[in-house]
Amino acid sequence: MTPAKATLTVRSINNYASVVDIRGDITAAAESALSDAYTQATSAGARIIILNFSGLEYMNSSGIGLLVTLLVRANRQKQRLLACGLSDHYQQIFELTRLNEAISIYNSEAEALAAAG
């Protein structure tokens, strides 16, 4: 298995929201890192998880698959996934794969937090 080239950092914003800062590549190799970050983000009770893609370097179709499974996990636990910091290219990929219909996209973390209320 190719070693993960992603660094995921979790920041708790308040009692109901956490941010996952994503840097590097989201590919199949990032599966456990993404899952661990999500678990850490929700363990303190956060219901809103903001995925901050501003440090994303590369994502392939397996990475999109990881986001789909993460979204299913969030929906089952009645949590919301939001995204911010996506480049124009990756916004297009969300549109292509229709992820944008399930994960709301914001330009910045501040906008995502404001929308999360």
Strands 6-12 and 17-26: antiparallel
Q: What is the number of H-type helices and E-type strands within the chain?
A: 4, 5
Closest CB to another protein among residues 47, 73: 73
Q: Quick check: 76 binds another protein (CB under 8 A)?
A: yes
Closest CB to another protein among residues 45, 98: 98
Rounded-to-integer distance, Cα 1 and Cα 110, Å: 36
Q: Quick check: 115 binds another protein (CB under 8 A)?
A: no
Q: Quick check: 35 binds another protein (CB under 8 A)?
A: no
Tell me if 48 sits within 8 A of 39, measured CB to CB: no
Residues of this chain that interact with another protein (CB under 8 A) are 1-2, 5-7, 23-25, 55-58, 60-62, 64-65, 68-69, 71-72, 76, 87-89, 92-93, 95-99, 101-102
